[in-house]
Amino acid sequence: MPDYSRRGLLAAGAAGGLIAATGAANAEPFVAKPGDGGFARSSNALPPGDKVVHHAASDIEAMPDFHFSLDSGRPKVTSGGWAKEATESNFPISKGIAGVHMYLDAGASRELHWHAIAAEWAFILEGKCQAMVIDPSGQREVANFGPGDVWFFPKGHGHSIQTIGDKPCHFILSFDNGGFSEHGTFSITDWVSLTPKDMLAENFGIPAAFFDKMPTGETYIMAGPILPESKAKQFLLPPAQTHKFALMDLAPRIDTSGGSLRLATQKEFPMSKTMSGGVMTLKPGGIREMHWHPNANEWHYYLSGQAEVALFGSGGRGKVKTFIPGDVAYIPAGYGHAIRNVGNEDVEIVLTFDSGDFQEISLSDWMAASPNYLLANNFGVSDDAFDKFPKASPHIHRQA
């Protein structure tokens, strides 16, 4: 039974002092027994022969790759278009967010479907399309989208997408679950073809023969006649309920000579409750400073330029990778990272987070808020070494 009385603790302290003073080889100052009450923590010297601890180099390999080439992947192709995806199964680090590049030919439609495990966020790259969405109250919205527009469909809500006009439409999709697969969605052709015809007849109250015309299996993205713009009428819900957001009309939250960040959180886009997303631009020589997000994973799709991303994964783990158009990056929540333009043209990134709230902590802000004597102690340098450090962080900047 340990003695927690004041006298007992004093006795333990005295014994600790004695051992440290004699420096006996068998003192084992770092070894404590249960109930020692911190006895061994009184040591202030390394045991003879011990070295200061460093992380093992092998730890670096334990961090999974955070780079994936989405556009060089194999697509799922059906009559009206194709989709390529990055999910936890082909990109193991991406546990929180999956992504898809989807291409619809003119006249094509991505059929009526829903997703059981993830919400869907989209950014239109080229072309025009109409999305129809229904929510659990039976309320529907029909919205038209063009380049730079964003949509958000909450998990489980029914939706479909149809190209408008005679040009193809393609877009980047992001889902707030890395286990999601676009190849495993709930498509209505699949459902209808798997349900007995007499049950379909009873369900819809029409003759069973009607369903002889239905396709077998999933049509997914179906080719069809062109939907003219004049016919593609919208039915938009009010701002608090709409699934559509015009991202390019939003003022950037960061806008400096180094670049900009436009981001729609649930504050700007109320429907987008479980995700935030937007576009970041880095000018040549621009850097998105070292930071992390306490509350969310981050997903990137590179539209243009050449960028270098440095990821810090704790425990001696760090990786630097180069990203070009068509590539995807995944940054787990809490992991430190910085992004810089290493090419001659603008870097443009479609980026999403799996939270409707945006949070970040910048290393520059943190260090600027810390007293110099603390930083000097932390890094083992002189106090004035930090005099030249920035006192405020622009988060994106370019060296003068």
Residues that bind Mn ion (CB under 5 A): 120, 298
Least Å distance, CB 241 to Mn ion, is 19
The encoded tokens of residue 51 equal 């070295």
3-class DSSP state for residue 202? helix
Judged by beta carbon, residue 12 or residue 94, the one nearer Mn ion is: 94
- Give 391-395 contacts, CB < 8 A, sequence gap 24+: 392/365, 392/368, 393/289, 393/362, 393/364, 393/365, 393/368, 394/254, 394/256, 394/258, 394/289, 395/254, 395/256, 395/261, 395/288, 395/289, 395/291, 395/360, 395/362
Judged by beta carbon, residue 171 or residue 386, the one nearer Mn ion is: 171
Least Å distance, CB 145 to Mn ion, is 14
Judged by beta carbon, residue 120 or residue 176, the one nearer Mn ion is: 120
Judged by beta carbon, residue 269 or residue 292, the one nearer Mn ion is: 292
Least Å distance, CB 4 to Mn ion, is 48
Least Å distance, CB 37 to Mn ion, is 43
At residue 199's C-alpha, the angle toward residues 197 and 200, to 5°, is: 65
Least Å distance, CB 219 to Mn ion, is 14
What is Dmax (Cα atoms) for the chain?
Answer: 97
Judged by beta carbon, residue 12 or residue 93, the one nearer Mn ion is: 93
Which phi and psi angles does 371 have, rounded to 5°? -65, 145
Least Å distance, CB 384 to Mn ion, is 32
Backbone angle region of 305, left / alpha / beta, with phi > 0 → left and psi within -120 to 50 → alpha: left
Residue 366's nearest CA partner among 291, 274, 303 is 291
Torsion angle of the four alpha carbons 191, 194, 199, 201, in this order, in degrees rounded to the nearest 10: 70
Judged by beta carbon, residue 135 or residue 298, the one nearer Mn ion is: 298
Least Å distance, CB 19 to Mn ion, is 49
The encoded tokens of residue 223 equal 């080719």
Judged by beta carbon, residue 243 or residue 386, the one nearer Mn ion is: 243
Least Å distance, CB 340 to Mn ion, is 13
What is the C-alpha to C-alpha distance for residues 257 and 399, in angstroms, rounded to an integer?
9
DSSP letters spanning 262-328? EEE-TTTSTT-SS-EEEEEEE-TTEEEEEEE-SS--EEEEEEES-EEEEEE-STT-EEEEEE-TTEE
3-class DSSP state for residue 104? strand
- Positive or negative, the CA dihedral 351, 355, 357, 358 is negative
Least Å distance, CB 16 to Mn ion, is 46
What is the C-alpha to C-alpha distance for residues 211 and 385, in angstroms, rounded to an integer?
78
Least Å distance, CB 20 to Mn ion, is 46
Judged by beta carbon, residue 16 or residue 278, the one nearer Mn ion is: 278
Beta bridge mates, 201: none
Residue 291's nearest CA partner among 393, 162, 154 is 393
Judged by beta carbon, residue 46 or residue 116, the one nearer Mn ion is: 116
Judged by beta carbon, residue 120 or residue 354, the one nearer Mn ion is: 120
At residue 179's C-alpha, the angle toward residues 173 and 183, to 5°, is: 60
